[in-house]
């Protein structure tokens, strides 16, 4: 998913094209998807909110398919992209602003999805992990007494994408999914964490 406005960054460059250690933010997510053992095709939902991102994607010589969406919001763009791509069955949704995710983590999520009975799976992180890295997430849920933060990684059943789906909550204690780059501060924290790995 790379079709948002990225308005919280307050920078002249579109968020997916921001660079960390000489590489664009979106490239980190693309690398993880490309190196996953279980991801077959990569579709990138883009929009008119990010014309430079669309242009870069179309010329990046990667094996990805760009799907243009209306840019009306995360859920409507996701549904629109899945419909336009003609995807059937399980679909892994990953935000473009998760530069620390790894193919191993994505594979772990996919393997778990195939073992649980629910038609959908959502990945969360403990709020304490986010706070320990200096991050201030916008959305926090209370799940059985644990404060958790959505990571921006989900698996849904594309055949029923227009319906609400019962989902398995996969709660991790992992700083690699804590960093969702939405602000300049998040970008600085991410750069710092990358320097320590």
Contact indicator for 189, 179 with CB cutoff of 8 Å? yes
pTM over 0.75: yes
For residue 24, what is the domain's CATH number? 3.90.550.10
Which range of residues forms the domain containing residue 139? 7-196
Q: What is the dihedral angle through the alpha carbons of 22, 65, 108, 186, rounded to the nearest 10 degrees?
A: 40
Percentage of residues of the chain with pLDDT beyond 90: 48
What contacts 88, CB < 8 A, 6 or more positions away?
158, 159
The answer to whether residue 92 sits within a structural domain is: yes
Please return the burial class of 12, using the count of CB atoms within 10 Å of its CB with bins 0-12, 13-18 and 19+: exposed
Is residue 190 scored above 70 in pLDDT?
yes
| pLDDT tens profile 119-169 | 999 999 999 998 988 888 888 999 989 999 999 999 999 999 999 999 999
The answer to whether residue 190 sits within a structural domain is: yes
The answer to whether residue 1 sits within a structural domain is: no
The answer to whether residue 107 sits within a structural domain is: yes
The answer to whether residue 2 sits within a structural domain is: no
Is residue 8 scored above 70 in pLDDT?
no
Count the domains in the chain.
1
The answer to whether residue 22 sits within a structural domain is: yes
């Amino acid at each position: 998913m790379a079709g948002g406005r990225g308005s919280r960054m307050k920078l002249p460059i579109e968020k997916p094209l921001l660079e960390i250690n000489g590489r664009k933010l979106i490239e980190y997510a693309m690398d993880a998807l490309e190196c996953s053992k279980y991801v077959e095709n990569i579709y990138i939902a883009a929009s008119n909110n990010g014309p430079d991102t669309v242009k870069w994607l179309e010329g990046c010589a990667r094996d990805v398919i760009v799907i243009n969406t209306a840019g009306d919001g995360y859920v409507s763009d996701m549904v629109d992209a899945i419909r336009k791509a003609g995807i059937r069955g399980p679909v892994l949704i990953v935000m473009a602003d998760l530069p620390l995710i790894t193919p191993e983590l994505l594979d772990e999520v996919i393997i778990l999805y195939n073992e649980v009975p629910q038609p959908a799976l959502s990945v969360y992180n403990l709020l304490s992990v986010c706070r320990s890295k200096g991050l201030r997430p916008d959305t926090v849920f209370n799940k059985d007494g644990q404060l958790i933060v959505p990571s921006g990684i989900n698996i849904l059943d594309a055949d029923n994408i227009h319906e609400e789906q019962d989902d398995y909550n996969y709660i991790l204690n992992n700083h690699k999914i804590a960093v969702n780059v939405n602000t300049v501060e998040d970008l600085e924290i991410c750069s710092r964490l990358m320097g320590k790995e």
